[in-house]
Structures are given as C-alpha cells and as structure tokens.
Amino acid sequence: MNRPDAERDLTLLRRAIALALNSPLPDPNPRVGAVLVSPDGIVVGEGWHHGAGTPHAEIEALRVAGDAARGATAYVSLEPCNHTGRTGPCAVALAEAGVARVVFAQPDPNPTAAGGGDTLREAGIEVAGGLLATEAEAVNRIWTRALRLGRPYVTWKVAATLDGRTSAADGSSQWITSPDARADVHRLRALCDAIVVGTGTALADDPRLTVRDSQGTPAPRQPLRVVLGDRPVPAHAQLRSSEAQTLFLTGHDPAAALAELHRAGIRHVWLEGGATLAAAFLRDGLVDEVVAYLAPALLGAGRPMIGDLGIGTLADALHLDLVDVTRVGPDVRMILAPAGREA
C-alpha cells in the first residue's frame, strides 16, 4: 500500500471512530461506527450502532449503500462481529454484500463475538486490522475493560468530609457535599449500567438511587438498582418504587454478585454502598476506579468512608494513582485507580 492510500485509510477509519461516538451510553453493546467507500473513493454508506437490539453499524451502512456496497471498502471502528445474537454476524453480512476489503481499528475483545476478521479472510476479502486501535478503544474504554476482566468494571463513588466522614455522629449525612457535586454524581450515574448498595445503606439512608436533573425530575433512562445482602428491605422503601428496576441479591460475595450482573449484560457498576460494602469490594480487588468527592468540612466523628481492609501496617497500605482532580463548586472531585492498574 502506498503512502497516500495509507493516509486515506486512516482518515476514513477516523471517520468511522467519530461516527461511533453517536452510539448511546450506557449500553451492553460497544459503540461502533462504519463507513463504506466505493472503489472510486466515494462514500456510499455510513452508520453507527443505535443500541442493543438494533442493527449494527455495518448493517446500517450496508442499507444506505445498497448495491453500491459491492466492491467497496468497509471501514469499521471495531472488528465486525462473528456471532448471532439479537442480530446476525456482521462479518457474514459484509461478505454477502460483496465488500472487497475491510479495515477495522480495535480487535473485538469479546470471545463470543471475535473472529470476524478471520471469517472475512476465509471469504476471500482483504482485511487490515488493528489500525488506530488505541483511538478506537478509547471510545469503548469501560466496555473493553469489562470484557477483558470477565466482569463489570466497578467505580466506587464516595462523598466525605475532609477527615473522611460520610455522616455525622448522629447519622445525618444530607448533605455533605454541595448541589454542584450532587449534580455531577447524577451526570456520572447516568453513564453506568447499575448502581450497587448493600442492605445497610438501603435501610439506613432509604436512597432512591435514580438519575435526576437539578429540579429532581427523574431521567427517562434509569440504571438498574442493585441491593446486596440478606436483610429484608421494607415494602415502603424508595428502592421499591417504580422509578427504576431493582434487583435484590442475597449473600455478601462481591465476586458472585458481579458474575451475575455480567451474565445479565451489565458492564459498568457504580458502587455507592457504605463503608462495609466498599471495603469488601476493595479487599477482593474488585474496584477499578474511585470517584471521591471531598467537602471542605470537618466532623471529627461519624461514619468513616471505608471499613476494615485488613491492613495492619502502613507498609501494606492500598495505594491509589491519582488520575484527575477537579473542583466542583466548593468541593473537590478526585478520580483514582488502584496503583498500577489501568483506570
């Protein structure tokens, strides 16, 4: 391939990656964009995935292109899928449409769907994969991490005073942080598939765990609410409202809970449980990201932000890498990841 052709491939692949940004978040499926280009260099079809159960990006582009897809080159931000789920395999659809060449960015990390590149090659189609893979992976950062981990990506969110208290000695906790910080929490909640708390938090705080705007109006799409533990949650609890679906999981095993959620298509968990549940996830190495809001206030007593981690000496402290620090109103939001782990 000469240099002008290589530059053209990169330009069109970046167009496919840009189209992928139109795909919704959150969704159990990856965000994908596709561009079909005729042999004479004319874009004949574009598409992106509109969410679980809808046609994939390649199918959208093929529908737009029609007969012009024959002999075309397909540029796709993610390796065309190779399995039948709610929709058929895109690799087969591209081959049947007569596409002559496929250029994709990120190889598919999903073992169920991977292998599309090989299927295309077996059909006699020229395939180039892995170009701009890092750029494409950034579009599906959390989805990719979840597939590689084999479980949902876990973000632990905590709001505390400067001395690490999540409530005062009398149990009052509304509100430790400012309206600005709370609005930021709702913005980030909306990007997750599920919000997880323990029965302790459910009973002590009676939270709604919904995504709401600044006026308190619930968003049209709500993450799944998940309550982990054995104590019963009363019928009048806000977690039993019709505002959002709630899943009650018995037991206290974070890994088992994540496995069940992963099987259900949950890829990003927003952990809002109290100190005990957060400590259980941290002890088991199941927290991938920490979003901590610190208020410029001191209490000196009250509930701590984290429970016993089984650490007896400073040398064994759980260290975190600081990824970002942002002022949110009067508060500070820190995003961190366990030291040495990808955020």
Residues annotated as binding site? 56, 81, 90, 159, 173, 175, 189, 201, 205, 209, 212, 272, 274-280
Task: Estimate the share of the chain in helix, then strand, then coil, as percent rounded to the nearest 5.
Answer: 30, 25, 45
Contacts of 17 (CB under 8 A, 6+ apart): 33, 77, 105, 132, 135, 136, 139
For 211-238, b/e burial (b = at least 16 CB within 10 A) is bbeeeeeeeeebbbbbbbbeeebeeebb
Q: Is the separation of the CB atoms in 87 and 113 below 8 Å? A: no
Q: Which residues are annotated as a binding site for NADP(+)?
A: 159, 175, 201, 205, 274-280
Q: Which residues are annotated as a binding site for Zn(2+)?
A: 56, 81, 90
Task: Choose the catalytic residue: 46, 58, 79, 289.
Answer: 58
What are the backbone dihedrals phi and psi of residue 126, each rounded to the nearest 5 degrees, phi first?
-70, 135
One-letter identity of residue 188: L
Q: Is 58 a catalytic residue?
A: yes
How far apart CA 206 and CA 238 sit, in angstroms, is: 6
Give catalytic residue positions: 58
